[in-house]
Amino acid sequence: MTNSNESLDSVLEKLGQLGKYQCFVVALFSIAVILHSAVHITFVFTSKDLNYRCQVPYCEKTPSEYNSSWLQNAIPIAKDRPAKCERFAHLNTSECNYLDFNRSKVEKCDNYVYETKEITIVQDFNLYCDDTLWQLTLIGTLNGLGQLFGLPIAGYVSDRHGRLTTLVWSMVLGGICGIIRSFTTTYVLFAVFEFLDSAFGAGAYTCGYILGVELVGPKRRVLTGVLICCAYALGEVLTGAIAWGVQSWRPFLQIICGSSLIIFLYNWIAPESIRWMLVKKKYDQAKQTLRKIAKVNGKHITERSLEDLCSLTDTTEKKYPISDLFQSWILVIRFVNCCFCWITCVFVFYGLTVNSVALSSNSYLDFILTSFVEIPGYAVAYILVEKAGRRIGISSTLILTSISCVGFIFIPSELYWLKLVTYLFGKFAITAAFSICYIITSEIFPTCLRHSLMASCSMFGRIGSVIAPQMPLLEQLWKPLPLTLFGIMAAISGVLSLYFPETTNIKLPDTIEEAEKIGKRQHTNLLER
C-alpha cells in the first residue's frame, strides 16, 4: 500500500485514539495473549524434574517421609540432599542404624519417595534418574522446534486468510492438542503432541498483538503494545498459579488448554484487521467495522470518508524477495548482528524462565516472580528508548543482564533473597532488551524488506528457545554453566548492539539506499563534532 496506512490512521484519530470500542478489542486480544502464553509455557511444569529418593524397605514409616532421621545411614548424601536413585545395600536386618548397611556397596532402586505431592511426567512415564533427564529437557526443545516450524506457516495463513482466523484456529487447534496430550499414556505420544501444540499455536501471539495494536490511533500504539506485552507476562503468572494449586500435570493441562478453546467465540465478537481487509479488497467488511467503532465511541464518520479510504488503497504493492538484501553488505552485516541479538534475547529470556523453577524449594513462587518482573521490564523499555535512544537502551539492558547473571553465581546460597533479587533483575533487564530488539529490527531495514527480515530474525531467534530448555543438562556438567552462558552471550550482544544505527526520531527508510544512509549520517555527525 502507498498511503492507505496514513489515511486509515487519520480516520482512527477522528474516531478516537483509544475509545470504548478499542478498549474492548484490546481487552479481548489481551485475554487471547494471556491464554496463549499460559499454554505455551506449560512444559516448564509438565516436564519438571522432581526431588525424590530411593524407598528403603524395613525403614519406611507409613506414609513414607522424604526426610527421615535414619536417611544418612541408608542413602548417599550429596549437597545436603539424598541421592535420587541409589542406596546402600541393606544387611538383611530389621534395623536402620549405621551398622545395618554396607556403605561400600551401592545399589539401584525401583521404588521412590517424593519430597512433595507433585505429579509430573516423571512418574507416569518412568523418567527417573540422571540418564533420563534428557527426555525431560527434550520436551522444552520440541516446544521451541514447534514454534520454528509453525511461524512461517502461520505467517502465510495470516496473510492469506486473515489475522483473526489465524489467531482463532491457532488457539483452538493448540488447545485440542494440549487436551489430547493430557490423556497420553506414552512418552512418545506426549512429545509428539507437545510439538504439534507449539506448531499450531506459533502465530497466536503475533496475530493477537497486531490485531490489538492496529485498531488504535497512532498516539496510543505504544501504550497498547505495552499492555499486550504485559498480558503475555500475566499468562505466565497464571500458569504458575494454576500449577501451584493443581500440582498434577494431567488436570493442569486440561484446565490451561481447555480454557484456550473459548477463543473460538472470537469468530463472532472480535473484528478482523482493517488493514488486512483493505489489502484484500474486503471493503464492505472494513466499512462495517469502522461504522461500529464510530457508533460505540460516540463519533461520526461520513460515507465519503469511507469511500475515500477504500479508493486510496493500492493493492498493487510490489513484493521484494529477501535476496535483495545482498545488494548491500551494510544491511547484510546489520542483519547478521540482528539475528545474533535475537538469539541471545530469546535464549536468555526463556533460559531464565525455565531455570527459575530450580532456584529454591518453592519453584512455583520463584516462577511467578520471575514472570511478573517482566511487566516493569516492558514498561521501562518503552520509556528508555525515548529517553536514551534505541542503541544505548538495548546495549545497557544487555550489559545489565550479563552483570546480573554472572553476579548471581558468586552470591552465597544462604543469601537466598539477594540471589533471588539478582536473578529477577536479570530477567527484568533481558525483558527490556527483548522489547527494544523488536523496535530496532522494525526500524533499521527498508520498507521493501522490513517484514520479511523481521520475520527471519524472529525465526533465527527461535534457536534460542530450542536451546534454552537444555540448561538443566548443562548444570549436570557444571552448575554455574547456564548462568555463565547467559552472561557471556548477553555481554557480547551488548557490545555488538552498539553497531546498530540510531533510529530515534528518524524517518523510517523506504529503500535500501535510505537504510544505508541512517548509519552514514550518524558517522558523519560524529566526525563533525
Residues 118-173 pLDDT 10s: 999 999 999 999 889 999 999 999 999 999 999 888 888 888 888 899 999 999 99
CATH class name, domain 320-529 = mainly alpha
Whether residue 352 contacts residue 427, with contact meaning beta carbons closer than 8 Å, is answered with yes
* pLDDT recorded at residue 345: 96
Q: Taking residues 424-449, what's their average pLDDT? A: 89
Higher-scoring residue by pLDDT: 328, 171: 171
Neighbours of 10 (CB within 10 A): 14
The C-alpha cell at 162 is: 486473515
Looking up cell 541479538, which residue turns up? 341
Check pLDDT > 50 for residue 93. yes
pLDDT score of 451 more than 70: no
Task: Give, as one character, the DSSP assignment of residue 247.
Answer: -
Rounded Cα gap, residues 246 and 260, in angstroms: 18
3-state secondary structure of 318: coil
Residue whose C-alpha is closest to residue 469's, from 22, 136, 38: 136
Mean pLDDT of the chain: 88
Position 210 pLDDT exceeds 80: yes
Q: How many residues does the chain have?
A: 529
Give mean pLDDT, residues 412-420: 90
Per-residue confidence (pLDDT) for residue 42, from 0 to 100: 96
Rounded CA-CA distance 214/26 in Å is: 10
In degrees and rounded to multiples of 5, residue 324 shows phi and psi of -60, -20
DSSP 8-state code for residue 263: G
* pLDDT for 315: 45
The predicted structure's pLDDT at residue 515: 83
Please give the model's pTM, rounded to 2 decimal places. Answer: 0.89
The amino acid sitting at 190 is F
- The rounded distance, in Å, linking the Cα atoms of 346 and 343 is 5
Contact at 8 Å (CB) between 355 and 482? yes
Phi, psi for residue 380 in degrees, rounded to 5: -65, -35
- Please determine, for residue 78, whether its predicted confidence score (pLDDT) is greater than 60: yes
Q: Which fold has domain 1-49+140-317?
A: Growth Hormone; Chain: A; (1.20.1250)
Amino acid at 253: L
Mean pLDDT for the stretch of residues 219-245: 91
Which uninterrupted H or E stretch holds 202? Answer: none
To the nearest 10 degrees (0 to 180), the angle between helices 447-467 and 329-355 is 30
C-alpha cell recorded at residue 144: 521451541
The predicted structure's pLDDT at residue 366: 94
Q: Please give the share of the chain, as a percent, with pLDDT higher than 90.
A: 53
Please measure the distance between the N-terminal and C-terminal CA atoms of the chain and give it in whole angstroms: 40
Look at residue 195 in the predicted model and tell me its pLDDT.
97
Q: Where in the chain is the domain with CATH 1.20.1250.20?
A: 1-49+140-317, 320-529
pLDDT tens string 390-413: 899 999 999 999 999 999 999 998
C-alpha dihedral over 7, 13, 18, 24, to 10 degrees? -50
Residue 11's CB is within 10 A of a number of other CB atoms, namely: 19
Instruction: Return the C-alpha cell found at 311.
Output: 479508493
